[in-house]
Structure 1
Amino acid sequence: MSLLFVTTNAGKVREARDYLDADVEQFDYDYAEIQSDELAEIAARGARESFEAAGGDEPVIVDDSGLFVGGLEGFPGPYSSYVEDTLGIERVWKLAEDLDDRAAAFRSVVAYADGETVETFTGEVPGRIVAPRGTGGFGFDPIFEHDGETFAEMDTAAKNAVSHRGRALASLADWLAERE
């Protein structure tokens, strides 16, 4: 089986190849991301559009992810990329610093589209918001701690072993295996 992963991030493609028993190729396409409070709705819409843009010959996968902070009622959630770009991780840490509830989760939804079917698969990794630590990763990794270590302190292999995207990709892999 061959899949197109709609992303500009080659690291995401490598991660998908680790989880999926498929030939995964990168498809650099900038689909119109709808505004929604639901990751699944955003990813599914992106997958439908991307499938058509890719010519409708091969299934596509799209992922949408976000950081959900309990004490901020799930903020920034699906708006994480925008919030990181406009506020930055230091300001998000400042918002969370004095909260009683700094529990958080990274969530990812991977959407699969093949022209007949659109399915979504969710992965989540629990953690908490902490003062920035570490130099690796990207985005909110320096303020997201899982099992005593921020994602920015983990090497790529350790982070991928617990990643929210990896968990969603594992669910997709199970579903694809059942369809064969």
Structure 2
Amino acid sequence: MLNFVTTNPGKVREATAYLDDAVEQFDFDYPEIQADDLAAVAAHGARSAYRAADGPVVVDDAGLFVDAFDGFPGPYSSYVEDTVGVERVWRMTEPESDRSAAFKTVLAYCDGDPLSTDRVHEGGDDEPPVALFEGRVDGTIVAPRGDGGFGFDPIFEHDGATFAEMSTDEKNAVSHRGRALESFAGWYADR
């Protein structure tokens, strides 16, 4: 059984679509480091959660990367949403000629065993290895639209609709997390 480390049951439902019933929610508030790299944040969280769960864990970290702002807010997306807000991020982006952006997720897997993969994020000498899987979906920042989703979904448009305008199934079919989960599921099945 894989422990998906999250307080969000929606993430677990999405993971179950890729990993069948091999996933259960593990509600653990791991210490999140501040870093400019999603992989470093996810790997640190996976190592911490692995020690707490005493078994295999999956942790993800995600963010909105706005091209006009050199990828900001990126790993700081949750903080920016809480402090600046979705509407103000739109207003800051609106005058830019290039409003392209991407949602990215890095999924980190840790089970304490040596990993034979090129996806390994090495820790220190006494740190367990972590396998990393990235998902990305490209889009455009637009004026807020839609009532669904969460976070920056109302201002992120992909193929003509914002994530907030999509049903959960439509969003999951193209989501950055789903793409990372698909990559992980294939690798995990071969282990």
Is residue 2:46 matched to residue 1:31?
no
Q: How many residues align?
A: 176
SS of match in other structure, 2:91? helix
Alignment partner of 1:64: what SS? strand
Aligned to 1:76: 73
Task: For 2:68, give the aligned amino acid.
Answer: G
Per the alignment, in what secondary structure is the counterpart of residue 152 of structure 1? helix
Q: Does residue 11 of the first structure (1) align with residue 23 of the second (2)?
A: no
1:93 is aligned to 2:118: no
**What is the CA–CA distance in structure 1 between the aligned matches of 2:133 and 2:178, rounded to whole Å?**
11
| Matching residue of 1:113 | 110
How far off its partner does 1:71 sit? 0.5
- Determine which of 119, 128, 151 is the counterpart of 1:139: 151
Whether 1:61 and 2:63 are equivalent positions in the alignment is no
C-alpha separation in 2, matches of 1:41 and 1:172: 17
Distance 1:106 1:82 in 2: 15
- What is the CA–CA distance in structure 2 between the aligned matches of 1:177 and 1:26, rounded to whole Å? 19
Number of the residue aligned with 2:139: 127
Aligned with residue 188 of structure 2, among 162, 176, 179? 176
Distance in 2, matches of 1:119 and 1:63, equals: 12
Q: Return structure 1 stretches of 4+ with deviation > 6 angstroms.
A: none
- The two structures, once aligned, show a CA RMSD in angstroms of 0.8
Q: Who is 2:121 aligned against?
A: none
Deviation at 1:11, TM superposition (A): 0.3
Report deviation, 1:177.
1.6
TM-score (norm 1): 0.96
Contact 1:21 1:173 in 2 (8 A): no
- What is the percent sequence identity of the aligned residues? 68
| CA deviation string 1:40-97 (max 9, x = no partner) | 110011000000011x2x2100000000000111010000000000000000001100
Structure 2 counterparts to residues 33-52 of structure 1, below 5 A: 33-52=32-51
> Which residue type is aligned with residue 103 of structure 2?
F
Cα distance in 2 between the residues matched to 1:96 and 1:20: 37
Instruction: Check whether the contact 1:16–1:166 (CA below 8 A) recurs between aligned residues.
Output: yes
Instruction: For 1:121 and 1:41, locate their aligned partners in 2 and report how far apart those are by CA, in whole Å.
Output: 12
Letter in 2 for 1:157: D
